[in-house]
Structure 1
Amino acid sequence: MPDDRGRRDQTRIDLGQDHQVRYWCEKIGCTRDELVHAVAQKGVMSEDVANYLRRTKR
């Protein structure tokens, strides 16, 4: 199934879309594994994931 590169929802992280995973890893400054773990802990809302990663990377 090809990536849907239409309008990006800036509030949610879709781990099923490789281009979104790359985008969020670059934007947040984390690895794919860190992103996957954070989404498992906090859900798909990008702000929640970013805040979680900032707190845990100190």
Structure 2
Amino acid sequence: MADNRQKQANRDRSKVSASEDHEVEYLMFKFDISKKRALELIIKHGGSRKNVEAELTHSL
């Protein structure tokens, strides 16, 4: 039986959640930053993955 594409989860992948450890750890690993720095950026940018990663990319 094929998957029903009408029943997909409505995840917001454009946001980084500070309450989800695996998302914070991914940022820490990807950009080699501390947990404190990752959480500061998530709060500063309201969880916008695009803005967080843009700031980290420009600061390298």
TM-score, normalised via structure 1 length: 0.62
Identity of aligned residues (%): 20
- Structure 1 residues 2-57: Cα deviation after superposition (integer angstroms, max 9, x where no partner): xxxxxx753211110112211222123321111111112212111100111233x3
TM-score, normalised via structure 2 length: 0.61
Q: Report the count of equivalent residues.
A: 52
Secondary structure class of the residue paired with 1:40: helix
Deviation >4 Å, runs of 4+: none
C-alpha contact 2:17 2:42 (8 A) present in aligned 1? no
